[in-house]
Amino acid sequence: MNFHSNVQEAPYIGPQYQKKLNKLGIKTIGDLLFHLPSRYEDFSKISFIRDLKLNEVCCIKGRIIKIENIYTRKKRFSLTEAVVSDQTGTIALLWYNQSYLKTIIKEGEYFCFAGRFILTDRGSYLVNPAYEKIRGMEIKSFDKKLMHTGRIVPIYPETRGISSRWLRFVIKIILERLERIDDPIPQEVLKKYKLLSLEKSLWEVHFPLSFGNQKKAKERFSFQELFLLGLFVLSQRIKRIRAKSYPLEIKLKTIQGLIKSLPFKLTNAQKKSLWQILKDMEKPRPMFRLLQGDVGSGKTIVGAIASLNVVKSGGQVAFMAPTEILAKQHFETVHNFLKNSDLDIGLITSKNDKFFSKKLKNQVVEISKRKIVEKTKDGKIDILIGTHSLIQEKVKFKNLLLIVVDEQHRFGVEQRASLYKRNRADKNPLPHFLSMTATPIPRTLALTVYGDLDISILDEMPKGQRMVNTIVVSANKRNDAYEIVRDEIKKGRQAFIICPRIEKKEDDFGQEVNDFKAVKEEHLKLSKKIFKEFNIGMLHGKMGSKEKERTMKDFGQKKIDILVSTSVVEVGIDMPNATVMLVEGAERFGLAQLHQFRGRIGRAGDESYFLLLPQTRSKSAYRRLTAIAKTNDGLKLAEEDLKIRGPGDFVGKRQWGIPNLLMSSLLDIALIEKTREAAKEILEKGYNLTNYPLLKKELARFKEIAHLE
């Protein structure tokens, strides 16, 4: 039996338990040992019965004087009562509905008991205590034989059919019987960073001799996971640097010509980022860069110019957007920017069957999807803009040299890999990759999960700081908020009203649940009652794409004054005339997400209003929302989000199955820096980890559980 053996090879684990463990994702002995306690009970002090105090958690040892089951008049309800004594006194024990205990705990035998000593309506008892048989009264705290009492006792995450008691029992046997526990972390790393060995850590995390030791064990496990993540990310980076791509000359003349033709001057941040991108693509290895910039910082034009450079070198570009609306908008924008550049630009989305290709100096042609696919395959479309359909449909490129992905956190690692395979000749080198996002990446994540990317930042707003007033509206001021909306519309402006849901939820009896506001109901209420005089439109994910498109078009042409919508307007949508946004159930959204919403208004530089209406009266929700009113710094809000909500929002979107422990250590910048350094040191000794076979194996396992590849 070793770490990699099937759990069934462990003593006491038959097919039944194996099944249950498999359900928890536990397949090997190693998996089981890494099923860590979620908390501990401190039963380490064995007291004399005489010294017990009411309401305290305590542990005693003694001889069973009496045990009996008592059947009450209530059906299916039984009591088991016992009396125990030590040299200082006697005490009564009471269990509810565990009459089987009478066959386990027998008169005259010695036991340890641990639990809370309380006053019930039958008198004072140690209630539902944990029990453990002992040989006699000699036993002391932390005796090797004790698992459930007389020590710091591990409590495992609750699951049906697998009790903490059972887990303690099998884990202890396994730890005792494993001959050798080899440590995947190299000796030199253990030493340098003063880490406990794997064997010691496993003992201390399951059966700690002190909370200090337990903490050190936990630290070692956190270190291990971050270290593995560091190894993965850094070796990805090395791999990429060694991979081949297409070195693309910088077509300076063409680019300058284009920049001159723009109706605005690029900001310095845009110029700098563009230069970094062009320089990256000049190298014979694939670019892998993230362009991060707050909403409105002008990422699209940077992506468009990079695309132009690629096309002028004879390559094709895939330009991906997270939603249909956005794909459409990008199509218009990119076409507009590049209209004098003689390019063919295509649009492909999943639901439509008609697509446009803009060709030669501003001509719009409507052609079938089949045609688009065909043209792309023949290399006749230079830039293909689309949604997920870019990967889902049978799209193949003749010579795909650049992939641009807008709001990449909506795309997973696997999808990226799938895009890589779009070239017709599969053995082609990798295309360059540019990902654009408005979500700032907290430093802890930039060093870990995003550590394989290079990052360019647009930290300058082209139109200067926008003047958005952020107001948290209390429940009794709802009408004032509506008045602000009304005033803005009367000035010729437009408004968004955001709701967390599409429709109201119903409970099992068909009754509406008093829950977060829904687009459909609000749309009805606002158009029938509150804003009768205005045109009100609605937008949500369940609408057909034609309908959505029409709605956006109407809003763009000011045929709609107020757009009631779900969070679909979160990313990218550019409606410069909108100056007010009212968010219902605002506490439902993350801070970074709200910041994205805020980026949707006042885009023409007018003073505007971002109104947050919490649904609940919770103080913490209110406090969280005022944080967003106080700052316009997206990074600060993202870091705040990370602290409040954990890395799920950031990491989940990359579709990684990050283990729980790692999730929490992703907040620990000091540990992150340490593990990154350790990973670097090891990789410097050979990036194939040939000298560290155990570590190599562990890294492979880690990649698999975290679906890193």
The per-residue DSSP string of 484-529 comes to: HHHHHHHTT-EEEEE-SBSS--B-TTSPBPS-S-BHHHHHHHIIII
Closest CA to 682 of 658, 699, 660, 666: 699
d(CA 151, CA 148): 7
Place of tokens 């990050």: 658
* Closer of 221 and 597 to ligand ADP (Cβ): 597
Closest CA to 300 of 390, 407, 387, 386: 407
At residue 707, φ and ψ (nearest 5 deg) are 40, 55
- Give the tokens for residue 468: 């958005």
Q: Which of 71, 264, 475, 512 binds ligand ADP (CB under 6 A)?
A: 264
CB of 323 to ligand ADP, least distance (A): 13
CB of 494 to ligand ADP, least distance (A): 16
* Closer of 216 and 330 to ligand ADP (Cβ): 330
Q: Which among Mg ion, ligand ADP, none contacts residue 295 (Cβ within 5 to 8 A by kind)?
A: ligand ADP
Element at 625 (helix H, strand E): helix 619-630
CB distance 484 to 611 below 8 Å: yes
Closest CA to 665 of 152, 228, 364: 228
Closest CA to 397 of 478, 474, 314, 501: 314
Secondary-structure percent of the chain, ordered helix, strand, coil, rounded to 5 = 40, 20, 40
Q: Which of 270, 309, 444, 494 binds ligand ADP (CB under 6 A)?
A: 270
Rule CB under 6 A: which of 426-465 touch ligand ADP? 438, 462-463
* Closer of 208 and 298 to ligand ADP (Cβ): 298
CB distance 571 to 596 below 8 Å: yes
CB of 539 to ligand ADP, least distance (A): 18
- Find the DSSP H helices in 338-388: 369-377
266 interacts with ligand ADP by CB under 6 A: yes
Query: What string marks each residue from 547 to 576 as x (binds ligand ADP by CB under 6 A) or -?
Result: -------------------------x-x--
- Give the tokens for residue 617: 């009266």
d(CA 550, CA 530): 24
* Closer of 246 and 496 to Mg ion (Cβ): 496
d(CA 74, CA 458): 70
* Closer of 585 and 602 to ligand ADP (Cβ): 602
d(CA 661, CA 663): 5
572 interacts with Mg ion by CB under 5 A: yes
* Closer of 528 and 558 to ligand ADP (Cβ): 558
CB of 330 to ligand ADP, least distance (A): 9
* Closer of 297 and 316 to Mg ion (Cβ): 297
Rule CB under 6 A: which of 361-420 touch ligand ADP? none
Count Cα atoms within 13 angstroms, Cβ side, for 332. 9
SS3 assignment for 124-159 = EEEEEEEEEEECCCCCCCCCCCCCCCCCEEEECCCE
User: Which range in 191-199, 260-268, 534-542, 619-627 contacts ligand ADP by CB under 6 A?
Assistant: 260-268
* Closer of 404 and 708 to Mg ion (Cβ): 404
470 interacts with ligand ADP by CB under 6 A: no
Query: What string marks each residue from 65 to 84 as x (binds ligand ADP by CB under 6 A) or -?
Result: --------------------
At residue 458, φ and ψ (nearest 5 deg) are -95, 95
CB of 460 to ligand ADP, least distance (A): 9
- Find the DSSP H helices in 46-186: 164-177
CB distance 301 to 271 below 8 Å: no
CB of 266 to ligand ADP, least distance (A): 5
CB of 338 to Mg ion, least distance (A): 16
User: Which range in 238-246, 265-273, 392-400, 520-528 contacts ligand ADP by CB under 6 A?
Assistant: 265-273
CB of 572 to Mg ion, least distance (A): 4
CA-to-CA separations, 374 to 175, 265, 349, 522, 527, in angstroms, rounded? 61, 37, 15, 44, 46
d(CA 78, CA 632): 61
CA-to-CA separations, 683 to 231, 452, 690, in angstroms, rounded? 7, 14, 10
Rule CB under 6 A: which of 278-307 touch ligand ADP? 293, 295-301
User: Which range in 271-279, 377-385, 549-557, 569-577 contacts Mg ion by CB under 5 A?
Assistant: 569-577
CB distance 392 to 369 below 8 Å: no
Q: Which among Mg ion, ligand ADP, none contacts residue 293 (Cβ within 5 to 8 A by kind)?
A: ligand ADP
CB of 116 to ligand ADP, least distance (A): 57
CB of 580 to ligand ADP, least distance (A): 19
CB of 299 to Mg ion, least distance (A): 5
Q: Which among Mg ion, ligand ADP, none contacts residue 297 (Cβ within 5 to 8 A by kind)?
A: ligand ADP
CB of 339 to ligand ADP, least distance (A): 13
CB distance 14 to 8 below 8 Å: yes
CB of 261 to ligand ADP, least distance (A): 13
Interface with Mg ion (CB under 5 A), residue total 1
Q: Which amino acid is at 671?
A: L
Interface with ligand ADP (CB under 6 A), residue total 18
The residue number with the shortest CB distance to Mg ion is 572
* Closer of 299 and 328 to ligand ADP (Cβ): 299
User: Which range in 440-448, 483-491, 570-578, 650-658 contacts Mg ion by CB under 5 A?
Assistant: 570-578
- Give the tokens for residue 91: 């005490």
The residue number with the shortest CB distance to ligand ADP is 298
Q: What's CA 505's distance to the chain center, in Å?
A: 26
User: Which range in 263-271, 379-387, 445-453, 551-559 contacts ligand ADP by CB under 6 A?
Assistant: 263-271
Non-local CB neighbours of 526 within 8 Å, separated by 6+ positions: 497, 536, 562, 564
The per-residue DSSP string of 656-700 comes to: ----HHHHHHTT-HHHHHHHHHHHHHHHHT-TT-TT-HHHHHHHH
Dihedral sign computed on CA atoms, order 439, 444, 447, 448: negative
* Closer of 267 and 323 to ligand ADP (Cβ): 267
* Closer of 295 and 497 to ligand ADP (Cβ): 295
Query: What string marks each residue from 64 to 93 as x (binds Mg ion by CB under 5 A) or -?
Result: ------------------------------
- Give the tokens for residue 451: 């550590």
CB of 357 to ligand ADP, least distance (A): 22
Q: Which among Mg ion, ligand ADP, none contacts residue 675 (Cβ within 5 to 8 A by kind)?
A: none
CB distance 695 to 252 below 8 Å: no
Q: Which among ligand ADP, Mg ion, none contacts residue 122 (Cβ within 5 to 8 A by kind)?
A: none
CB distance 464 to 605 below 8 Å: yes
CB of 611 to ligand ADP, least distance (A): 21
* Closer of 133 and 265 to ligand ADP (Cβ): 265
The single-letter DSSP state of residue 49 is G
User: Which range in 65-73, 87-95, 155-163, 565-573 contacts Mg ion by CB under 5 A?
Assistant: 565-573
CB of 407 to ligand ADP, least distance (A): 9
d(CA 472, CA 621): 11
Residues that bind ligand ADP (CB under 6 A): 264-267, 270, 293, 295-301, 438, 462-463, 572, 574
Residues that bind Mg ion (CB under 5 A): 572
